[in-house]
Amino acid sequence: MDLLRFTTAGSVDDGKSTLIGRLLYDSKSIFEDQLEAIERSSEQRGDGYVNLALLTDGLRAEREQGITIDVAYRYFATPRRKFIIADTPGHIQYTRNMVTGASTAQLAIILIDARKGVIEQTKRHSFIASLLRIQHLVVCVNKMDLVEYKEETYREIVEQFTTFASRLEVPDINFIPISALKGDNVVDRSANMPWYRGSPLLHLLETIYIGSDTNHVDARFPVQWVVRPQTDDHHDFRGFAGRVAAGVFKAGDEVLALPSGFTSRVKTIESFNGPVEEAFYPMSVTLTLEDEIDISRGDTLAKPNNLPETGQDLD
């Protein structure tokens, strides 16, 4: 069973946390004690309904203000696929937290309030997803219940986003009209929108093809940490820990460190379960090199015959 990592994006109050709560609730991925805790919290807040957004908004400040501040991760699985969800904030003040949550995502769900249409923060988060090379966007036009499930409203927003999306480098974009609060087109098809012929959100997430997304050619290894235990057992150990961003690394491969330009060869590849023959995306490993060269956190290892383009400016 493969794994799909996805994130939510969009402006504040577009319903990202509610959508994740609805997805977990309708897919039977919430434990009974969790649901009871949410029911009690909703009653104490005077919400008048079970506020499923509280499943991910756990910080006191988030619940007081009714917004997401920090990134919250949730895990669930269906018979078809496993999922890791990153619920990210929509407020412009916390955009950097949105980048953190989206940095490992393979798919982004862009929430749009059906009453407001495509706004500045929608475009900002979509651009960030494109910059992070997320290959799949699912644009969910949310709160359709507040516009009486009108097809015309949905079509107008699809046209707005399609015009804007011509500036993005995202090859796969899907559109779904939903109501996260009511559950329309989230897990099951909605009887309120018979004009929509596509799949509900969960079915799309279960079946979307991600096998061709990974780059196995351009070897890239960003160094996240220099490992120096300095213990009696590993007194001289010096390794470089990180997650393979692309390509394949094997013991004996020649590598070049950027930005210094020093070269060496991979001596060993260490994983959590012990030494491995090769490392590829998305494995987190520690590489040791045959030579003592100066490498720091933030440097990148690549193959000398296939180097990334370097520069200081963004277009």
The pLDDT of residue 279 is above 90: yes
Of 70-74, 231-235, 265-269, the one with minimum mean pLDDT is 231-235
pLDDT at position 59 is 39
The closest of 182, 198, 191 to 142, measured between CA atoms, is: 182
Tell me the percentage of the chain whose pLDDT exceeds 90.
Answer: 59
Instruction: Specify the residue for token string 């309904």.
Output: 49
pLDDT, one tens digit per residue, over 179-224 is: 988 999 999 999 999 999 999 999 999 999 987 777 888 999 999 9
- The pLDDT-based confidence of 21 (bands split at 50, 70, 90) is confident
**Identity of the amino acid at 233:** D
Please give the model's pTM, rounded to 2 decimal places. 0.77
pLDDT at position 241 is 96
C-beta separation of 95 from 105 below 8 A: no
The pLDDT of residue 37 is above 70: yes
pLDDT, one tens digit per residue, over 235-278 is: 778 999 999 999 999 999 999 999 999 999 999 999 999 999 99
What residue segments make up the domains of the chain, in order of their start? 3-207, 220-302
Quote the mean pLDDT of the chain. 87
pLDDT at position 11 is 82
The pLDDT of residue 85 is above 70: yes
Question: Could you tell me which residue, 122 or 37, shows the higher pLDDT?
Answer: 122
pLDDT at position 63 is 40
Rounded average pLDDT over 32-42: 73
**Identity of the amino acid at 102:** A
Q: Are strands 172-177 and 136-142 parallel, antiparallel or unpaired?
A: parallel
The pLDDT of residue 68 is above 60: no
The pLDDT of residue 226 is above 60: yes
DSSP string, 250-290: ETT-EEEEETT--EEEEEEEEETTEE-SEEETT-EEEEEES
Buried b / exposed e across 70-96, counting CB within 10 Å, b at 16+? bbbebebebeebebbbbbbbbbeebbe
pLDDT at position 69 is 52
**Identity of the amino acid at 163:** T
- The pLDDT-based confidence of 55 (bands split at 50, 70, 90) is low
The pLDDT of residue 19 is above 90: no
The pLDDT of residue 52 is above 80: no
Pick the CATH number of 3-207 from 3.40.50.300, 3.20.20.210, 3.40.50.12500, 3.40.50.620: 3.40.50.300
The closest of 135, 66, 144, 87 to 112, measured between CA atoms, is: 144
pLDDT, one tens digit per residue, over 128-172 is: 999 998 999 999 999 999 999 999 999 999 999 999 999 999 999
For 141, 156, 270, 296, 304, the CA distances from 260, given in Å and listed in that order, are 47, 51, 24, 10, 12
CATH class belonging to 220-302: mainly beta
Instruction: Specify the residue for token string 């559950």.
Output: 183
pLDDT at position 66 is 46
Cα 102 to Cα 7: distance, rounded to the nearest angstrom: 6
Question: Could you tell me which residue, 159 or 34, shows the higher pLDDT?
Answer: 159
pLDDT at position 40 is 78
Question: Could you tell me which residue, 21 or 265, shows the higher pLDDT?
Answer: 265
pLDDT at position 67 is 47
Of 33-47, 219-233, 289-303, the one with minimum mean pLDDT is 33-47
- The pLDDT-based confidence of 86 (bands split at 50, 70, 90) is confident
